Homo-oligomer: A and B are copies of this chain.
Amino acid sequence: MNLIILFESDFLDSQTAILNDRRFDHISTIQKPSPGDFLKVGLLNGETGLAEVTTISDNQISLNVELTNPPPKALPLTLVLALPRPKMLKRVLQTVSSMGVKQLYLINSYRVDKSYWGSPVLEHQINEHLLLGLEQAGDTIMPEVHLRKRFKPFVEDELPEISSEGSSFVAHPYDAAVCPNPSAEHKTLAIGPEGGFIPYEVEKLNQCGFKSIHVGERILRVETAVPVLLSRLFPV
């Protein structure tokens, strides 16, 4: 937790916030501040800054908050990801959030196991894992996650509009060009499930203007492919 994210509901007035949940536990067991010390904080979907510890007891901490800085820049990317299995989904959500992705479409694909759509992670824990990514990276802007359980209507009816800005790519190791050099231009990137998109799906994405790209002959797990592709497509 490199940034403590505050919610509007934590505030007693415009400057005073009281924490008594897992953030308090983290602060009191890991950071162990004394009154007068400063902590890095940010308001969810708002600015970041410093909070002076005013009082700290056994079960809560009171902060005097001053928000002065914008959060880190977002990545100009819309990420379209075949729904990973639940355990991997948790980590991918954290990774995506920590790297600054703000638009994430989790979509169906032939090789996505139907059971994944019933996972409790998907039902209840998406925001929790996105928040962990924000806290890690020092960001405050919650990504938007969109669930699309049907591949064809999504690609035919929605994706052309979603991907209309900048270039679009699908990570696919066959008949593919080398991943282009980093650029700040907006992009839409589609990444398939373990085992990849099936040829029909790649064809549909190609028809929608998505160019097939690869990052070498090694086949990477989705949780590795995501940071690799994002690093190759965008400059520092």
Give the interface size class of chain A: 20 to 34
Task: Please name the residue on chain B nearest to A178 by beta carbon.
Answer: B236
- Cβ < 8 Å to B, chain A residues 156-188: 178-179
Task: Please name the residue on chain B nearest to A233 by beta carbon.
Answer: B231
Given A215-B231, A227-B227, are A136 and B236 also a contact pair (CB < 8 Å)? Answer: no
Residue pair A219, B179 in contact (C-beta under 8 Å): no
A179 contact set on B, CB distance < 8 A: 236
A203 smallest CB distance to B (angstroms): 22
Which stretch in A13-21, A58-66, A93-101, A118-126 binds the other chain? A93-101
Residue pair A98, B236 in contact (C-beta under 8 Å): no
Distance, CA A137 to CA B224, complexed state (A):
11
Task: Please name the residue on chain B nearest to A231 by beta carbon.
Answer: B231
A142 smallest CB distance to B (angstroms): 15
For the complex, is A139 an interface residue (Cβ under 8 Å from B)? yes
Residue pair B136, A100 in contact (C-beta under 8 Å): no
Task: Please name the residue on chain B nearest to A214 by beta carbon.
Answer: B236
Residue pair A220, B99 in contact (C-beta under 8 Å): yes
Residue pair B227, A137 in contact (C-beta under 8 Å): no
A216 contact set on B, CB distance < 8 A: 72, 236
- Cβ < 8 Å to B, chain A residues 196-236: 214-221, 223-224, 227-228, 230-232, 236
Residue pair A138, B218 in contact (C-beta under 8 Å): yes
- Cβ < 8 Å to B, chain A residues 24-72: 72
A170 smallest CB distance to B (angstroms): 16
Residue pair A98, B136 in contact (C-beta under 8 Å): no
Given A215-B231, A236-B179, A236-B216, are A224 and B138 also a contact pair (CB < 8 Å)? Answer: no
Distance, CA A225 to CA B27, complexed state (A):
24
A-B contact pairs, 17 of them (CB 8 A): A2-B219, A72-B217, A91-B91, A98-B221, A99-B218, A99-B228, A136-B219, A137-B218, A138-B217, A138-B218, A138-B219, A178-B236, A214-B236, A224-B227, A227-B227, A227-B231, A232-B236
With contacts A72-B217, A94-B221, A224-B227 known, what are 4 further pairs, Cβ within 8 A?
A: A136-B220, A227-B228, A227-B231, A228-B231
